[in-house]
Structure 1
Amino acid sequence: MTRVRTVLLPPALAIVFAALLCAVALLISGDSPLTALRVMITQVGEGTTAIDILNSGAIYYIAGLAVAIGFQMKLFNIGIEGQYRLAACVAAIVGGTLVLPPVLHTIVILLVAMVVGAAWAGIAALLKAFRGVSEVISTIMLNFLATGLIAFLIRPDSFGVLRGNNISTDPIPPSGQFPGISFGSSGTLFGMVFVAALLGLGYAFLLDRTRFGFELKASGESDTAATAGGVNARRMTIIALLMSGAVAGLVGLPELVGRDFAYTLTSPQGYGFTGIAVALLGRNHPFGIALGALLWAFLDKSALALDNVGVPREIVLIMQGSVVLSVVVAYEIVRRYELAAEQRRVAAQLRAASAAPAEEVKA
């Protein structure tokens, strides 16, 4: 019961607080909170919204997993943004150049993206392990370097192709595309949604059922204690960031191989930073991250629906920001409450134990 309360209560409190805050903001702006809530709920069953939420949720989920792997080692990988964008760009270039059989072509694209993401994160990993450079600083700087490198790679005189007012890589042929599941007018579910689910299962198995997962969490709790137990903390730091980068390399793939089939200057951005918020919402737990990803995707889609009925779409931004902030506060409140409750239980047991000999003497 205590475990369930610790896991479920903080997110519930955070969502309630965010909803109340948005309701106050709506009342101040002269809009009805009930109208906004009705629009947000009913829009799920309209058009392609439900499928879009699942597709976006899968992207956010992969990004959240990439961040969570670093969090397990107390590493703050802010470079997810640069890692996935550079990985998607290089994977698009390779995928548009190679001629391979179906399935194999797609697998090669996925592997290239993972290798590029891991290699880009590996720079920060080596700096952290051998020079003590903060991964926060190095990954932020690498984000800017990735942006410049992408701009160079997709120039017309490099690997880019000028199409109207936009520049893109050569399109990935059908043999390299990842087919989805069509639901007719309701949209097409990305095939990479199932890859995201497999990643979540693999992440859960790695942490809870393997020695490596135990060493990863132990190193994150205390480098000194882990080293005393025979764990190479430096090696774990490098591996954790490499794994985080490899998963980050897949963030841009659902749209690349499932919809766009080319990388352009206008390809979506910002998923890496959203992944940080999603990982915080899910507290690094695979199931919690999934719920956080779906919630974030739902709120994203709600912005357009609210705008269509004259409700400020900025309300969604308020809710997203307040959820992230309040979930951190809520977890701390619940942690302190559980700690105080445990102290009371221990004190009661000690009093009972000390009273027992006195009762025996009287008898």
Structure 2
Amino acid sequence: MTSWRTKVLPPLLAIVFSLLICSVALLISGSDPLSAYWTMLKQLGQGTTAVDTVNLATVYYLSALAVAIGFQMNLFNIGVEGQYRFAGVWAAIIGGALHLPPVLHALVIIVVAVVAGVVYAAIPAILKVTRGVSEVISTIMLNAVVGGIVAFLINPDQFGVLTGNNLRTQVIDPSGRVPGIPLGDASLFGFVIIVAVIGAGYWFLLNRTRFGFELRASGESPTAAAAGGVNSKRMTLIAMLLSGGVAGLVAMPELLGRDFSYAITSTQGYGFTGIAVALLGRNHPGGIALGALLWAFLDKSAVSLETVNVPKEIATIMQGAIVLSVVVAYEVVKRADLAAAQRRVGRALSGGKPASVAEGGAI
């Protein structure tokens, strides 16, 4: 059983280590680290920053969940970036063309996004189980392809509309939108409730169902899982499709809660951020939520650093340091935990005597 140290200490150590690295960088540049960090914290209480942080964290959370599902099977689904963009553009096209009653309209758009994400994830999944093609290679290639697909679909000759200098899909009717939750001068994405349900479903699936057990077992030891009657190829296929389905929802909070159309300039990079957040959260829904909030906070508060003559890129350095150190921290704590467990077993086998005494007696 994994101890609390293995779960909690690595991300904490990674955050502390990144703070130290950034502090050194700030000192070298002649800036005050405490002043910079305090400025970032104060930014949360100004304007709509706090709500904007939660809204962005909602998107990061979905992206990280999609990545985490693959991680449970030891699959590295780098294709979340391509899957959510493919799903987002199709959901916007179909959502903008339909005129349905409220709730039903939004539901159809969400279903289209999930199906589109599954379809785009099915390509590397099928290649993986039938030809043994690495999902890393195939998803990277598909990430590059999706840019051309989006540009083609949003072309005015297809489904695009030229608005000013920007190409975008038809605007989705109010009936297809997810109402926001007013908080002062800002509005929290209503999709945050759906995301919370998805997170709870992810936890239940992994920890309270046979499928979740088989998924984790296949990821930890494919040989042992196969000996227990688990079809590894089937689990790989399902895990990739589930990951793609969740990835298809990544663009939905912004599409249905703020933008109401998909543009050629729509934000990119959420899929890659999800990898870092999933690592930071140790693939646990609660840990991922905290990691998503931290990442969003660093993104949104970075602009405040310029008020104290500190480059906003220091937040990017902090994020990069977290990614680099979190893997090392996990391994260090895991080895320390394993060594402690071995010592406990050694004491139990020796009847509470030191291992050296027990070995001497045996000899």
Instruction: Say yes or no: TM over 0.5.
Output: yes
What is the CA–CA distance in structure 2 between the aligned matches of 1:70 and 1:204, rounded to whole Å? 14
What is the CA–CA distance in structure 2 between the aligned matches of 1:184 and 1:142, rounded to whole Å? 41
Number of equivalenced pairs:
355
What is the Cα deviation at residue 353 of structure 1?
A: 6.5
- AA partner of residue 25 (structure 2): A
- AA partner of residue 57 (structure 1): A
What is the CA–CA distance in structure 2 between the aligned matches of 1:353 and 1:320, rounded to whole Å? 46
Secondary structure at 1:167 match in 2: strand
In the alignment, what sits opposite 1:324? Answer: 323
What is the CA–CA distance in structure 2 between the aligned matches of 1:209 and 1:232, rounded to whole Å? 20
Post-superposition Cα deviations, 1:229-283, rounded to whole Å, max 9, x if no partner, equal 1111111111000000000000001000100000001101000000000000011
In the alignment, what sits opposite 1:126? Answer: 126
In the alignment, what sits opposite 1:218? Answer: 217
CA contact (8 A) 2:347 2:353 kept: no
Q: What RMSD, in angstroms, separates the aligned Cα atoms of the two structures?
A: 1.4
CA contact (8 A) 2:5 2:337 kept: no
What is the CA–CA distance in structure 2 between the aligned matches of 1:202 and 1:84, rounded to whole Å? 20
Q: What is the 5 A alignment of 1:1-363? A: 3-185=3-185, 187-352=186-351
What is the Cα deviation at residue 324 of structure 1?
A: 1.2
> Greater shift after overlay, 323-332 or 97-106?
323-332
What is the CA–CA distance in structure 1 between the aligned matches of 2:322 and 2:219, rounded to whole Å? 26
What is the CA–CA distance in structure 1 between the aligned matches of 2:221 and 2:334, rounded to whole Å? 20
What is the CA–CA distance in structure 2 between the aligned matches of 1:16 and 1:93, rounded to whole Å? 44
- AA partner of residue 220 (structure 1): G
What is the Cα deviation at residue 335 of structure 1?
A: 0.7
What is the CA–CA distance in structure 2 between the aligned matches of 1:303 and 1:107, rounded to whole Å? 35
What is the CA–CA distance in structure 1 between the aligned matches of 2:224 and 2:2, rounded to whole Å? 27
What is the CA–CA distance in structure 2 between the aligned matches of 1:291 and 1:182, rounded to whole Å? 23
What is the CA–CA distance in structure 2 between the aligned matches of 1:283 and 1:344, rounded to whole Å? 26
What is the CA–CA distance in structure 1 between the aligned matches of 2:148 and 2:196, rounded to whole Å? 32
> Greater shift after overlay, 314-323 or 220-229?
220-229
What is the CA–CA distance in structure 1 between the aligned matches of 2:225 and 2:351, rounded to whole Å? 37
- AA partner of residue 196 (structure 1): V
- AA partner of residue 245 (structure 2): A
CA contact (8 A) 2:72 2:219 kept: yes
Post-superposition Cα deviations, 1:14-36, rounded to whole Å, max 9, x if no partner, equal 11111111010001111110110
What is the CA–CA distance in structure 1 between the aligned matches of 2:69 and 2:100, rounded to whole Å? 33
What is the Cα deviation at residue 226 of structure 1?
A: 1.4
What is the Cα deviation at residue 223 of structure 1?
A: 2.1
In the alignment, what sits opposite 1:361? Answer: none
What is the CA–CA distance in structure 1 between the aligned matches of 2:146 and 2:263, rounded to whole Å? 14
- Quick one: percent identity of the two aligned structures? 66
What is the CA–CA distance in structure 1 between the aligned matches of 2:211 and 2:272, rounded to whole Å? 27
What is the CA–CA distance in structure 1 between the aligned matches of 2:303 and 2:51, rounded to whole Å? 15
Relative to 1, partners in 2 of residues 1:301 and 1:339: Cα closer, same or farther, differing over 3 Å?
same
What is the CA–CA distance in structure 1 between the aligned matches of 2:211 and 2:91, rounded to whole Å? 29
> Greater shift after overlay, 228-237 or 292-301?
228-237
Secondary structure at 2:178 match in 1: coil
- AA partner of residue 110 (structure 1): I
Secondary structure at 1:45 match in 2: coil
What is the Cα deviation at residue 228 of structure 1?
A: 1.5
What is the CA–CA distance in structure 2 between the aligned matches of 1:178 and 1:68, rounded to whole Å? 26
Gaps of 5+ in 2: 359-363
Secondary structure at 1:311 match in 2: coil
What is the CA–CA distance in structure 2 between the aligned matches of 1:237 and 1:307, rounded to whole Å? 46
Secondary structure at 1:269 match in 2: coil
Runs of 4+ with deviation above 3 angstroms: none
What is the CA–CA distance in structure 2 between the aligned matches of 1:163 and 1:353, rounded to whole Å? 77
What is the Cα deviation at residue 354 of structure 1?
A: 7.8
What is the Cα deviation at residue 130 of structure 1?
A: 0.5
Secondary structure at 2:167 match in 1: strand
What is the CA–CA distance in structure 2 between the aligned matches of 1:134 and 1:4, rounded to whole Å? 33
What is the Cα deviation at residue 12 of structure 1?
A: 1.1
Post-superposition Cα deviations, 1:158-210, rounded to whole Å, max 9, x if no partner, equal 0001111100000001000110111232x100011111111110000000000
What is the Cα deviation at residue 325 of structure 1?
A: 1.2
